Structure 1
């Protein structure tokens, strides 16, 4: 696998882990980890699946990685907005 692709995958895994940690801290703090329908729990599950697929044996192109990276960026923005809106309600 190309060095730059490998590096990009490692960086994306770290980014996904960071997003998932933010979600997990909030979900645990609000005691909603068992609410399977809560958007943050759904988002965390989706991120886990995407992150897990990066570790698989498939070789990715930089274009594919850019699309996955965009999903992670969207996930971070969405999680931040959900958390921010919930904190305003409290």
Structure 2
């Protein structure tokens, strides 16, 4: 199994866009600085398990819908 340089991939930006939530609004709901949301979205920071679970809970989806050890397929790409 390739660790892909230990990166944790996420769909935070996609989920935010789908729901019309700003970085600042998400950060406020999570109790983090809005720049932290940007770092997470760009993959510059991996969340703690607690933060990852809180993000998934905020979007009301399972944590594996938000985070993955493998890159998510691009939207509109064939299976």
Q: TM-score, normalised by structure 1?
A: 0.34
The answer to which structure has the higher strand fraction is 2
The structure with the largest alpha-carbon Rg is: 1
The answer to which structure has the higher helix fraction is 1
